[in-house]
Structure 1
Amino acid sequence: MSKISNYRQLKITALLLAGALFAPLLAADTGTEVGKSPWGPEDERGRLNLMTRESQFRILSRISSGKVYDLSVEYYIGMPGVHIAGDPPYRIWMTHTPRGNQIADPMDMGEAMNEHISYSGSAISMYTHSGTHIDALNHFGLNGKIWNGFSADQYQGDRGWTAAGAESIPPIVARGVMIDIATAKNLPQLPDNYRITESDLKEALKQQQMTLEEGDVVLVRTGRMQNYDNAAVYQENYPGLTLGAAKFLAEDAEAMIIGADNIAPEAFPSEVEGNYIPVHTYLLAQQGVPILEVVNMEALARDKVYEFAFIGGSLKLRGADAGPMRPIAIPVD
């Protein structure tokens, strides 16, 4: 499932000629094969194998304060999402209310007990790619296969994938780096449909006096999160990475996870002919790099915190292609 919330733009081919913000020409899709893991034929974690006890201890030992930044968003009815593509929006409803329990007495507790004990319960339903979440490696593939050659014919059933699903994602403890593109360009947020290039990433890192290291969780800030409470604005025409920028982070910088503050980390319409979502297929299916989406970096940007201990655990949803996550960032010295 694509996270393209601006599907209608795919029909407006004139955007491809709209100038510097858009790719002037469509490149041919040469990435037709999924990646094979250097960690063996059974590997379902991809780049997450770069995380070790040593790397975790190394970043935790550098924590310099007790200040904690919450990188997640709230879930509520009307929140941004990709239900525009047919996926269900977030819903919450009460399954028990104090007054309802008095009237229905569903557990046969009796009137006196139900008057004494006020019981509330609720249930939710949502698409797994709602709110702050991590894409598992089975989310996108190529030609019927996902990362490491697992095929849908063999590994996908009625209850989801039996390989490379959300349940295979371990708790994440790693060095985190925010690349604040919006601030680097002296903008509150990037323009609609802005395509972030490798040069943009390098310039922002230079301004921040930061370098990337193998195994980093790299989070790219566009400033789009400022519109989160206005779903129509937040999820339309958002800026994102070019394929070249994604390749720089994955291959040159050797990032473990790549994320952004919008609904998808890549710009649309696609710059690659024959592939409508090239950054997703490149990162997930070819490089084994999980993707973080809808990450709230506004407080980090406000305080100019560019390096931190990233800590997050996603829900272990067996067979699912994403897991909701509540990550935190703790500054390091």
Structure 2
Amino acid sequence: MTDQLLDALTRGVTTYDLARQFRVGMPQSPNHPQFWHVLPRRHGDMVRSDGGSAANDMITTGTHVGTHIDALAHVSQDGKLYGGSDAGDACLGGKYVEHGVHTIEPMIRRGVLVDVAAHRGVTTLDGGYEITLEDFRATLEAQGTEIRRGDVVLIRSGWGARFEEGQAFVGGATGVPGIGEEVGEWLAAQGIHAAGADSIAFECLRPGAGHGLLPVHRIFLVEHGIYIIEAMNLEEISAARVHEFTLVLVPLNIFGATGSPVRPLAVVSGE
């Protein structure tokens, strides 16, 4: 019996890398430990008798820096996690046994890009701009795409174009564009599996407010069990005007962690 997936690969596919490259000093939320990379051994530090040499690395990082996914254990509300689990009881021996990132199954799902910035004809939405449900639906209609149950929905505000600007991407003073409760509730009602964005905290951050209030995190992670992917690179896929694709995403299998770095890929047929 012929495997249709292998047939598609044989005919050729195009892959878009939706992740940011991990580098020391990259912009991140001030709430999380930074990424750090060093070389304890460099070529020449130890040379074998035959002249060969090897180098190696060590990294330390928070699990919520760079392009990453939030596990359901990341956020609680009034002491409860998704499904009503007690947030304190869920942490055993310093690990979130229940709803930790190790419970996220690999994702091979239909992905949808909702390119709000492109629809509005701007490079990036203004800092602090809340994407309305009218914006969202108008973008979907213009693209000719729809949201289906089980989808992974990626929202482009254009803010990712500022990633290389460092602190400007964090947007402390300016705020950061993104969806608010209105679109969050609507997406949850559609039964999506996960959602991602090209900004630092996925949702709208008001100027000067920082990460003090994150209502969409509550709606998705606590109330509906929807995973959140942050700091995505959506520029290339936007330029290619690819709005529907196969999304491939696998978190690191870290037992009890509240999140994980990821390298999501958008795959479409054709070369």
Structure-1-length-normalised TM-score = 0.74
Mapping of 1:260-299 within 5 angstroms?
260-269=197-206, 276-299=213-236
Aligned to 2:255, which of 318, 322, 331?
318
In 2: Cα distance, 1:58 partner to 1:130 partner:
37
Query: Counterpart of 2:23?
Result: 76
Query: Counterpart of 1:254?
Result: 191
In 1: Cα distance, 2:42 partner to 2:74 partner:
37
RMSD: 2.2
> What runs of 5+ residues in structure 1 fail to find an aligned partner?
1-56, 103-110
Query: Counterpart of 1:211?
Result: 146
Matching residue's letter, 1:209:
G
SS in 1 for 2:26: coil
Whether contact under 8 Å (1:65, 1:330) holds in the other structure is: no
In 2: Cα distance, 1:166 partner to 1:238 partner:
26
Aligned to 1:239, which of 177, 185, 189?
177
- Return the offset for 1:60: 9.4
Matching residue's letter, 1:281:
R
| Bigger radius of gyration | 1
1:139 aligns with 2:74: yes
Q: Report runs of 4+ in structure 1 exceeding 4 Å deviation.
A: 57-65
Task: Tell me the percent identity.
Answer: 29
In 2: Cα distance, 1:58 partner to 1:98 partner:
45
SS in 1 for 2:69: strand
Query: Counterpart of 2:121?
Result: 186
State how many pairs are aligned: 260
Structure-2-length-normalised TM-score = 0.90
- Greater percentage in strand: 2
Matching residue's letter, 2:21:
E
In 2: Cα distance, 1:163 partner to 1:148 partner:
11
Query: Counterpart of 1:328?
Result: 265
- Return the offset for 1:152: 2.5
Query: Counterpart of 1:66?
Result: 13
- Return the offset for 1:233: 1.0
> What runs of 5+ residues in structure 2 fail to find an aligned partner?
none
In 2: Cα distance, 1:62 partner to 1:209 partner:
24
In 2: Cα distance, 1:59 partner to 1:278 partner:
39
